[in-house]
Structure 1
Amino acid sequence: MKNLKNITCPNCHSSFEIKSAIWNDIKSSIELELNQEILNQKSELQKKKDEYQKLSFRLSKEKADFHNLVEQQVAKDILVKTDSLRKKIEEEISSKKEKELDELQSKLISKTQEISGLNKLKRKMALENEEKEAKIIIKYDSMLEEKLKEAKLAVQNESSEKHKLEIMQKEKLISDLKTQLDITQRKIEQNSSQLIGEVQEIRLESLLYEIHGDTDNIVPIPKGVNGADCYQEVKTDSGVILGKILYESKFTKSFSKGWLDKLHEDNKSINSQILVLVTKTMPKELENESFGIIDGIFITRLNFIKPLSILLKYSILKVSQVQLKYKGHENKQKVLFDYITSQEFENMSKSVLKQLESLKISMDVEKKKLVKIYAEREKMIENAIMSMTQYFGNINGIVSSDAQVLKALPKAS
């Protein structure tokens, strides 16, 4: 590199040194020009870079738009082709199904005609058989009538003592057999009624246990011992017995007033304050009542024992409260008896029982309606499932399994 601090004369080629001040001015001027040129270059480069970025962004956007346009067009073409293919397949299926239905209809008509012919033949043969049977019956009836006439004449002609004795023996045997049959039938009916009665006794005790078993004592009376079926000891929370309720169960076709006297007699060994007779057949004066009182005994049916037993227990608890006011009163049983046999208690009990009976009838009606509705809806669901299963099964069976348009259809189970 040449020494820029010296200047060479172009004519004589002699070199001499430039002064420092001049050199600095030149250097500064050159550096300024170079820096300006660099700045210009950088500015130009930045402009081109910005233009490139704008161009690149616009190109990317146009590319994305073009890609979206292509996808939309492809999707549209696919949808059009799919619809066209579906319509074509549906037309083919419809045409095939119509053809199959026509064939089935023709076969059905043919089979119906065959069946009609067979039915006519069957009816004809049946009539012929009936005519033959009628002729045979008439023939044998005539023969039997002749034989009976002959036998009757023979019997009429046989008037010997031996024959009369045989007839009397046979009549006696028949009479004895009838008597024995009646006795056996009555025993069977008695055993059946006794068994049903025992079942009702067990059911009565079970109901009382369910209702009052947690708080009271339900004491069954042993079999073979004269007395009622069971009695209830009404207790306080601390276990003090406030009173007793004696229960007797009857399951017969008719009501007997003798049961009332017997129940009073049975109560002498129990000393219950309240007596209850549970019977299948109510007395005539109480046929249309839920319960009633005759000779100081409550009479009711088994299906009303729950509300009645609750009311009777409540009466004993109520009377025990009344007795606190009459502490030391000697005739406590009379106080209890007077209360539970009063018109007030009877009216209150009947009112509560009627309300419970109405509520039970209403609940039974609602229950029947709900059961019917649930059954109808369940049947509708089953029919719909069967219809859809058959529908899709028919389609999958008719159309080839590789048909792309039907891959989304559910298969018949």
Structure 2
Amino acid sequence: MSEPTITCPNCKQEIKLTESLAAPLVEATRNRFEQLLAQKDMDVVRRENEIDVAKEKLANAKKSLDEKVSVKVEDQLIKERTRIIDEETKKAKKAVSSDLAQKEKDLAELQAVIEINQEKLAEAQSAQANIIKKERELDDARREIELTVEKGIRDKLIETRERAKREAEESLKLNIAEKDQTISSMQSKIEDLMKKADQGSQQLQGEVQELELEENLRREFSLDVIEPVPKGEFGGDVVQRVVSVSGQPCGMILWESKRTKNWSDGWLPKLREDQRAAKADIAVIVSQSLPKGLDTFQTIDGVCVTHPRLVLPVATLLRQSLIEVAQSRQAIQGQQAKTEMVYDYLTSPRFRQRIEAIVEAFSTMQADLERERKVITKQWAKRDEQINRVMKSTVGMYGDLQGIAGKSLQEIESLEMQLLEVDE
């Protein structure tokens, strides 16, 4: 690296700046610059002091000016506010004076209208009092006339009724004797006809109950195959082939419907034979008449016996038992025969408890329904009797008035019809 050089201003010769030669020059230059820098700092401090003094003077002048301006503005505001208040007060007084004059004028007109209305009201009240007085006089006169007419009609009615009663009693004595003889003869004939009709209707009632049983089962268990037993194949009335939701056949229930007055123990062995012939899993007798001591449902000698009102709940449980047995049979093939499992389930406390719970619920519902039916029937009978009593009294009074007034009494079509019915 070459050493720095300087050129002499006189001889123009370049002189190398060695350390020994340059050191005094550098020192002198540094001292001179430091003096200049110190002088500059002093100038800056002096200028800053001057600026601070100027700022303080300016602040004092501004404060003094603000105070003077504030005083002048406040005085001006007070004068302006006073002027505005005076002007607005004058305007308000003028407006109030004008409104007050208008209000007084309106009040005078309203007072005049009120006086006119009061005069009209007094006249109307006087007229109304006269009308009320005349109405009261008319009511008194009408009431007096009605009492007079009513007394005459009542006396005439009493006389007419007594005469009609005597004539009717004499005529009724003969008619009653004749009708008693006719009724006695007809009763004997009716009893004979009822005996013959009862013998023929029992068979018809039994067929109706069979059809109702078949229809109820078909409606309640749409998955199952419900069929009437073909004539001549085996006994029983309806066959229910139980089918699970998955479409698997689960067994058969043979239903026998009975509608007789008395229970027969001979039905049980006969239905068991029919059950074997039909290869049914369960046999059920549905009967209006049940064995002594049985009110709802029970398994007797392997045959289920129930009342018609419990057919659907019993069918639901029997059907569910066949489905459960079929499912169990798939899981434990060969452990137990299906009919034995069904019999064990039907004779188990669990099955009886389910039936008893259903029977209790149905019995409660039936008792509530019977109570409601009795109350409603009683109310209907009472109202019907009241209506008949009112109608008979009205028709009787109308007939009495016709007997008194004759054709001068205007006809009432509905009462004329009632009179015709009474005469018949």
> Per the shorter chain, which TM-score range?
0.5 to 0.7
2:258–2:285 Cα contact (<8 Å) kept: yes
2:124 alignment counterpart: 71
Task: Give ranges in structure 1 of 5+ residues lacking alignment.
Answer: 1-46, 127-186, 399-410
Distance (whole Å) between structure 1 residues aligned to residue 387 and residue 244 of structure 2:
55
* 2-structure distance, mates of 1:201, 1:363: 25
Question: 219, 225, 229: which is aligned to 1:221?
Answer: 229
Of 315, 318, 321, which residue of structure 2 is paired with 1:312?
A: 318
Deviation at 1:256, TM superposition (A): 4.6
Deviation of 1:325 after TM superposition, in Å, equals: 5.7
2:278 matches 1:278: no
Kept in 2, the 8 Å contact 1:231–1:244? The answer is yes
Match of 1:90 among 138, 143, 162: 143
2:297–2:355 contact (8 Å) kept in structure 1: no
Number of residue-to-residue matches in the alignment: 287
For residue 299 of structure 1, the aligned residue among 293, 296, 305 is 305
Q: Check 1:389–1:223 CA distance in 2 against 1; reply closer, same or farther (3 A cut).
A: same
**How far did 1:246 drift?**
1.0
After TM superposition, the structure 1 = structure 2 runs for residues 243-254 of structure 1, keeping only pairs within 5 Å, are 243-252=251-260
CA separation of 1:355 and 1:115: change in aligned 2, threshold 3 A: closer
Match of residue 28 from structure 1: none
Task: Indicate the percent of aligned positions where both proteins have the same amino acid.
Answer: 29
TM-score relative to the length of structure 1: 0.56
Deviation at 1:373, TM superposition (A): 1.4
Are the equivalent residues in 2 in contact too, given 1:392–1:412 (CA < 8 A)?
A: no
Question: Aligned partners of 1:53 and 1:98: how far apart in 2?
Answer: 65
> In 2, are the aligned partners of 1:390 and 1:412 still within 8 Å (CA)?
no
TM-score by length of 2: 0.55
| Pairing 1:242–2:250 present | yes
2:344 pairs, out of 312, 327, 338, with 338
* Residue number in structure 1 paired with 2:220: 211
> Is 2:320 the partner of 1:267?
no
How far apart are the structure 2 equivalents of 1:378 and 1:253? 35
Q: CA deviation at 1:361?
A: 2.9
Any residues of structure 2 matched to 1:13-412 within 5 Å, and which?
A: 56-110=109-163, 194-212=203-221, 214-252=222-260, 255-283=263-291, 286-320=292-326, 322=328, 326=332, 329=335, 331-380=337-386
**Secondary structure of 1:238's partner?**
coil
Once structures 1 and 2 are overlaid, which stretch shifts more, 386-395 or 327-336? 386-395
| Secondary structure class of the residue paired with 1:298 | strand
Q: 2 CA distance for matches of 1:389 and 1:67?
A: 52
Return closer, same or farther for 1:106/1:389 CA change in 2, 3 Å cut-off: closer
Are 1:249 and 1:278, in contact at CA under 8 Å, matched by a contact in 2?
yes
Per-residue Cα deviation, 1:52-100 (whole angstroms, up to 9, x for no partner):
7665443322111111221122122212211221121111111111122
SS in 2 for 1:244: strand
Q: Which runs of 5+ in 2 are unaligned?
A: 1-99, 178-195, 405-412, 416-424
Secondary structure of 1:299's match?
Answer: strand
Q: CA deviation at 1:297?
A: 0.8
